[in-house]
Amino acid sequence: MPAAPPSTPRPTADPLVALADRCVQCGLCLPACPTYAASRLETESPRGRIALTRAWADGQAEPTQEGDAHLDHCLGCRTCEAVCPAGVEYGAFLVEARKQQRARRAPTWRARALEMLAARPAALSTLLGFYRIAYPLLPSRMRPLPRPPARRTSPPRSTPVMPRQVVAVSSGCVARPYEAGTREALARLCATIDIQVVAPEGQTCCGTLHAHAGDAAAAATLARRNRQAFAGIDTVLTLASGCHDALASAIEGRAVDAIGFLADHADRLQVRRLDARVGLHLPCTQRNVTRSVGAMHRLLACVPGLDVVTLDAGTGCCGAAGTGMLEDPEHANGFRAPLIAQIEASGVDCVLSANIGCRLHLANASPVPVKHPLELLADQLERAPSPGTGARPR
């Protein structure tokens, strides 16, 4: 079927209506939508949500608790956007719809607490430090996240003698403690190709969580802080595919997906053989936003002996949806269950996933370790210099 030209929205003062007017109601998004696949309800599809919120904005219908629940259930995976022939910007539509939803319905105390902590990465890291200590004593129902790794001591600093490029790395919010090892892996990989990685002070959460919760003001404040932190840096590498879009918007396109960046230098990476079977989970944001799936396969192909099993059970979406796994765990766990069953049946030694939220969600139920693909790659380096990571993020 030939792609239809993007429809021209009617002039309107409401950005939500302008975005919704691009939808031609063809329904091609329905088979791609995880929530529609699970429920077979029109209101749980992108087309249904667009029609519903369009009716609210036009005054043709009054918002209801049931209607809001359909909007809440959207995972923000943007798979619909990738298949839409009319060019509907569903990601922007969802942000605007949630913004208007928040104006009429106050967020829960849990949502407010999560947003507050994400905007204060240092406080969040401290809290997760206490969570690590208490973790062995907690019952399973009080373990919403896997146990955070032990705090790492700063490695001996060793940078390329004459680096040909200096890049920055984004440390995010919850990723700050959980991805310390991933940032070290990135620095080791970059050092082998004479690139130095720095972690500027002052950086913060990317704001995706806040934008998807409808708090546009908080998202804008975080974007401004990141713009200031990364000022003067030409390339900022992102390790979490779910954070990439917001950071790229904040720093005007200087954000580069770390997987794609390293794939461009794959011929210079010297790695040892690894006879192992790994499960590769492809986060929705990696498939639909950073679009680095091909780069991911090129990097893993550098490791001789590696047997890669793509984890695609169900719709392939794990259901984490940012804080959705914490606010509505039953809903999130339903999407995760087929992937966990596939992991158990496949006999893989570990699971790889390029998004922090997906890794945390999968790790809380996976029978095998879950890690970032770059950690596996760095472990196989034939020469692995200690990374020079510049200033530690605050």
Average pLDDT over residues 366-381: 97
- 15-104 shares its CATH topology with 127-263: no
Phi, psi of 35 (to 5 degrees): -70, -35
Percent of the chain with pLDDT over 70: 91
Q: What is the pLDDT of residue 338?
A: 98
Mean pLDDT of 353-366: 98
Q: How many beta carbons lie within 10 A of that of residue 13, not counting itself?
A: 6
pLDDT confidence of residue 45: 98
Over residues 244-292, the pLDDT tens digits come to 999 999 999 899 999 999 999 999 999 999 999 999 999 999 999 999 9
Burial class (CB in 10 A: 0-12, 13-18, 19+), 268: exposed
Q: Whole-angstrom Cα distance, residue 386 to residue 157?
A: 6
- Provide the strand spans (E) within 107-221: 165-169, 195-198
Full DSSP string of 141-176 = GG-SSPPPPPPPPPPPP---SS-SEEEEE---STHH
Looking at residue 12, what is its pLDDT? Answer: 60
Q: 268-379 domain in CATH 3.40.50?
A: yes
Q: Which CATH architecture has domain 127-263?
A: 3-Layer(aba) Sandwich (3.40)
Q: Give the model's pLDDT for residue 391.
A: 44
Residue 15 has pLDDT above 60, yes or no: yes
DSSP single-letter state for residue 290: I
Half-sphere exposure of 323 (CA within 13 A, CB side): 22
Question: For the chain, what is the mean pLDDT?
Answer: 92
Tell me the pLDDT tens digit for each residue of 175-195. Answer: 999 999 999 999 999 999 999
pLDDT digits (tens, 9 = 90+) for 191-211: 999 999 999 999 999 999 999
Q: Please, which residues have CB within 8 angstroms of residue 64's CB and are 6 or more apart in sequence?
A: none
Residue-wise pLDDT for 304-317, tens only, equals 999 999 999 999 99
Strands 276-281 and 350-353 come out as parallel
Decide: helix, strand or coil at residue 7: coil
Average confidence (pLDDT) over 67-90: 96
What is the pLDDT averaged over residues 164-176? 95
Q: Report whether 166 contacts 135 (CB < 8 A).
A: no
The structure's pTM equals: 0.91
pLDDT at 394: 41
Q: What is the mean pLDDT of residues 225-234?
A: 96
Given this model, what pLDDT does residue 255 score? 97
Domain residue extents for the chain: 15-104, 127-263, 268-379
> What share of the chain in percent tops pLDDT 90?
89
Q: What is the CATH number of domain 15-104?
A: 1.10.1060.10
Average pLDDT over residues 128-153: 93
Range name among 8-22, 91-105, 223-237, 313-327 with the lowest pLDDT average: 8-22
pLDDT recorded at residue 383? 62
Higher pLDDT, 158 or 44: 44
pLDDT tens digits, residue range 110-123? 999 999 999 999 99
